[in-house]
C-alpha cells in the first residue's frame, strides 16, 4: 500500500472511531433528556400540593392580613439564567445569554449564571455575573442545585425595595430549536392559588402568616427544580441534535474518503499495469 493509500486508510479509521464517540454522546444525551422530562411529573405534583396548601393557608387569614403582590415602585432586579455545563449544544447558550441581556436592558440589575458554558459566554460579551454555579449534568443533581440557587437569591433580596427575580431557561422540543422562556419568580404571585376558607383551623406550629410565607418559599424551590429539569432536558436535546448533525457530516466525510481511496487505488493499479506492459515491450 502506498503512502497516500495508507494516509487515506488512517483517515477512514479515525472517522469510524469518531463516529462511535458521537453515537455514544448522542445516546447519553437522549437518555438524560428523557430522564429529566420523566421527573417533571413528580416535581409538578409536589408544586401542586404546595399550591393547594398555600390556598388553604390564605383561607386561614383575614383578607387584610393576606400577603399580596407588592405595588409597583422602585424595583431591584435579579436575573437568573440557566445555561449548559458542557459543550456541543450549538447556539443553545448564545440564545440564553441573548435573552438574559435583553431582560437586563429592559430592567437593569444583577446577573446570576448557572452553567460553565454560560459563564464563558457572559465574559465574552462583557457581562459580569454577581454569582455563578455549575449546572447539573444529571437530573439527580437538580434538587441540591435548586437549594443553592434559592439561597443565593434570597440572600440578595433588597429589604428596602421590591425585588424582581426573573428566570431565563430552555424548554425541550422534539423538533426544531429549543424554546427560550423568561418567567417571573418574585415577587410571589399569590393570586394564582384559589383561596380555600377552612371550616376548621388545623393545628400548626407556626404563626399562620409565617406558615404561608414559608410555603411560598418552598413553592419557589419547586419552580426552580422544574426549571432545572426543563433546562437539563433542553440542553441534552440540543446536544443530541448537534450530534445528529455531526454524524451526518462524518457520514459525508466517510463517503468522500471512500471515493478518494477507490480513485487512488484504481490509479495505482493502472500505473502498475502500464509499468508491467512497458516492461514486456522491452
- Number of structural domains the chain divides into: 2
Q: What pLDDT tens digit does each residue of the chain (282 aa) get?
A: 567 777 877 878 888 888 888 888 889 999 999 999 999 999 999 999 999 999 999 988 887 778 876 665 557 999 999 999 999 998 999 999 999 999 999 999 999 999 999 999 999 899 999 999 999 999 999 999 999 999 999 999 987 787 899 999 999 986 667 899 999 999 999 999 999 876 666 666 778 889 999 999 999 999 999 999 999 999 999 999 888 888 878 888 888 877 887 787 787 777 777 777 666 655
Could you say which DSSP state residue 123 is in?
Answer: H
Domain CATH code at residue 269: 1.10.287
- Could you write out the DSSP letters of every residue in 51-97? HHHHHHHHHTS-GGGS--PPPS-SEEEEEEEE--SSS--TTHHHHHH
- Is the residue at 198 inside a domain? yes
Domain CATH code at residue 112: 3.40.1380.10
Handedness of CA 42, 44, 45, 50 (dihedral sign): positive
CA distance 130 to 125: 15
Q: Give the cell for residue 89.
A: 449544544
Q: Give the cell for residue 257.
A: 474518503
Structural domain of residue 224, as residue ranges?
A: 28-236
Asked whether residue 197 falls in the same domain as residue 253, the answer is: no
Whether the CB-CB separation of 110 and 77 falls below 8 Å is answered with yes
- Is the residue at 108 inside a domain? yes
Asked whether residue 13 falls in the same domain as residue 52, the answer is: no
- Is the residue at 281 inside a domain? no
Name the region of 176 (left: φ>0; alpha: ψ -120 to 50; beta: rest).
left
Amino acid at each position: 500500500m502506498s503512502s497516500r493509500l495508507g494516509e487515506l486508510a488512517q483517515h477512514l479509521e479515525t472517522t469510524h472511531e469518531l463516529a462511535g464517540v458521537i453515537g455514544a454522546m448522542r445516546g447519553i444525551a437522549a437518555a438524560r433528556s428523557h430522564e429529566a422530562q420523566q421527573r417533571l411529573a413528580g416535581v409538578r405534583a409536589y408544586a401542586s400540593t404546595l399550591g393547594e396548601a398555600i390556598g388553604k393557608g390564605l383561607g386561614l387569614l383575614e383578607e387584610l392580613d393576606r400577603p399580596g403582590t407588592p405595588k409597583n415602585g422602585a424595583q431591584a432586579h435579579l436575573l437568573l439564567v440557566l445555561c449548559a455545563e458542557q459543550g456541543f449544544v450549538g447556539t443553545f447558550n448564545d440564545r440564553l445569554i441573548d435573552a438574559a441581556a435583553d431582560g437586563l436592558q429592559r430592567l437593569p440589575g444583577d446577573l446570576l449564571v448557572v452553567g460553565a458554558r454560560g459563564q464563558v459566554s457572559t465574559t465574552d460579551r462583557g457581562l459580569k455575573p454577581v454569582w455563578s454555579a455549575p449546572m447539573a449534568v444529571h437530573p439527580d443533581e437538580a434538587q441540591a442545585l435548586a437549594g443553592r440557587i434559592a439561597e443565593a437569591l434570597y440572600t440578595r433580596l433588597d429589604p428596602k425595595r421590591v425585588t424582581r427575580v426573573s428566570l431565563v431557561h430552555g424548554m425541550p422540543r422534539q423538533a426544531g430549536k429549543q424554546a427560550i422562556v423568561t418567567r417571573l419568580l418574585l415577587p410571589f404571585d399569590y393570586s394564582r392559588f384559589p383561596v380555600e376558607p377552612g371550616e376548621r383551623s388545623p393545628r400548626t406550629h407556626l404563626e399562620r402568616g409565617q406558615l404561608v410565607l414559608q410555603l411560598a418559599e418552598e413553592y419557589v424551590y419547586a419552580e426552580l427544580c422544574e426549571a432545572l429539569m426543563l433546562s437539563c432536558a433542553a440542553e441534552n436535546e440540543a446536544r443530541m441534535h448537534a450530534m445528529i448533525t455531526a454524524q451526518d457530516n462524518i457520514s459525508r466525510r466517510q463517503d468522500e474518503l471512500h471515493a478518494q481511496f477507490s480513485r487512488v487505488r484504481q490509479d495505482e493499479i493502472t500505473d502498475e499495469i502500464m509499468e508491467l506492459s512497458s516492461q514486456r515491450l522491452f
